[in-house]
């Protein structure tokens, strides 16, 4: 399907070496609302100003709003598929919903660019928001996660990336936008490293060194890759765009993955979570969750770059 849309934010930009993820809540009061709305019109200028200092640094910032924040700041009309984050699973395997009105996904090939832009954004927002989560992510060798496997292998590229992530004429008021789901996972590396490489490969569904997917005849149905592959009733695969980043503090024994997925609607990402945390069929859950714990969760809508600037005057 050909999509004729306003300019999107930098959703489909190449994955970079560094990123900062900020999730914030909107403080009470009309002054806070006015400040955030005014900032919407200033963000593009901030990115340009900081990015000019290192033109080859590929600096960008994607901004998204939660369902409740959209209603409070902008009212109607609202994105058709925007709703609060859906929790999945139960005791032992739970995908929790955590507070968050505003998501900032800042990325560049240098952490100093990310750091400077984040600093300038927080100065501009001031006391209008309260940061509830901030993660500095980094590229780990050849795009590997902390657990040692390549991440994002099946990401769509080029026109396919646009078709799978950017809203089109199904919601014309919000064409050029995208939905983004974020979760922070902490990994039990001691337990994970006690597994043999072959056992780890069965958990993930891929070879660890070569990144080649295991043959369907030997890949377990509860492997991560099996449960996160989504197909339509017609058998066509529905992809999302992942820009996950490892993070951690070795001195504190903290090792994690910040999951961030972009899609044209929330549905495929939520189906993946249901498959992982509930199981397909129920009980056949993602074995990776025996070693990884989700500690945050949020769903946001990313308006087009054009709409983001217009929202300052709504």
pLDDT by 10s per residue, the chain, length 314 = 444 569 999 999 999 999 999 999 999 988 999 999 999 999 999 999 999 999 999 999 999 999 999 999 999 999 999 999 999 998 789 999 999 999 999 999 999 999 999 999 999 999 999 999 999 999 999 999 999 999 999 999 999 999 999 999 999 999 999 999 999 999 999 999 999 999 999 999 999 999 999 999 999 999 999 999 999 888 899 999 999 999 999 999 999 999 999 999 999 999 999 999 999 999 999 999 999 999 999 999 999 999 999 999 88
What is the C-alpha to C-alpha distance for residues 206 and 136, in angstroms, rounded to an integer? 27
Q: Is residue 3 part of a domain?
A: no
Q: What is the pTM of this model?
A: 0.95
Adjacent-strand bridge partners of 60: 107
Nearest to 118 by CA among 258, 257, 262, 18: 18
Q: How many domains are there within the chain?
A: 1
Q: Which distant-in-sequence residues (6+ apart) come within 8 Å of 132 by Cβ?
A: 23, 24, 25, 98, 99, 100
Q: Is residue 221 part of a domain?
A: yes
Q: Is residue 76 part of a domain?
A: yes
Q: Is residue 5 part of a domain?
A: no
What is the C-alpha to C-alpha distance for residues 93 and 282, in angstroms, rounded to an integer? 13
| CA dihedral sign of residues 73, 77, 81, 84 | positive
Q: Which of these is catalytic: 133, 151, 243, 286?
A: 151
- 3-state secondary structure at position 67: helix
CA–CA distance from 313 to each of 33, 75, 108, 174, 310 (Å)?
12, 12, 29, 16, 6
Q: How many CB atoms sit inside 10 A of residue 239's CB?
A: 21
Could you report the per-residue pLDDT of 19-42, keeping only the tens digit for each? 999 999 999 988 999 999 999 999
What is the C-alpha to C-alpha distance for residues 263 and 129, in angstroms, rounded to an integer? 26
Q: Is residue 1 part of a domain?
A: no
Residue 151 annotated in active site? yes
What is the C-alpha to C-alpha distance for residues 165 and 171, in angstroms, rounded to an integer? 13
- 3-state secondary structure at position 68: helix
Q: Is residue 4 part of a domain?
A: no
Nearest to 105 by CA among 12, 43, 222, 23: 23
- Range of the structural domain that residue 221 is part of: 10-313
Q: How many CB atoms sit inside 10 A of residue 77's CB?
A: 11
What is the C-alpha to C-alpha distance for residues 228 and 193, in angstroms, rounded to an integer? 23
């Amino acid at each position: 399907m050909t999509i004729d849309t306003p300019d999107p934010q930098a959703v489909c930009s190449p994955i970079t070496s560094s990123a900062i993820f900020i999730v914030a809540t909107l403080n009470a009061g009309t002054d806070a609302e006015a400040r955030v709305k005014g900032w919407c019109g200033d963000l593009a200028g901030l990115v340009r100003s900081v990015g000019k200092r290192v033109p080859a640094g590929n600096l960008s910032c994607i901004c998204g709003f939660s369902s409740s924040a959209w209603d409070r700041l902008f009212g109607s009309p609202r994105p058709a598929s925007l709703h609060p984050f859906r929790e999945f699973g139960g005791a032992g395997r739970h995908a929790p919903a955590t507070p968050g009105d505003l998501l900032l996904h800042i990325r560049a090939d240098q952490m100093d660019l990310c750091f400077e832009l984040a600093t300038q954004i927080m100065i501009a927002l001031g006391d209008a928001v309260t940061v509830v989560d901030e993660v500095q992510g980094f590229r780990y060798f050849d795009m590997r996660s902390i657990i040692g496997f390549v991440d994002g292998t099946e990401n769509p590229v080029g026109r396919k990336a646009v078709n799978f992530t950017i809203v089109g004429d199904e919601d014309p008021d919000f064409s050029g936008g995208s939905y983004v789901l974020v979760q922070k996972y902490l990994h039990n590396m001691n337990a994970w490293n006690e597994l043999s490489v072959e056992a780890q490969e069965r958990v993930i569904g891929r070879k660890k060194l070569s990144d080649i997917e295991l043959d369907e005849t030997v890949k377990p149905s509860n492997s991560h890759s099996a449960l996160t592959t989504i197909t339509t009733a017609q058998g066509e695969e529905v992809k999302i765009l992942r820009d996950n980043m490892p993070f951690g503090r070795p001195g504190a024994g903290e090792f994690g993955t910040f999951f961030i997925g972009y899609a044209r609607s929330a549905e495929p990402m939520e189906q993946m979570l249901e498959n992982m945390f509930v199981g397909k069929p129920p009980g056949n859950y993602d074995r990776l969750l025996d070693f990884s714990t989700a500690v945050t969760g949020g769903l946001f809508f990313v308006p087009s770059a054009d709409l983001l600037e217009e929202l300052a005057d709504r």
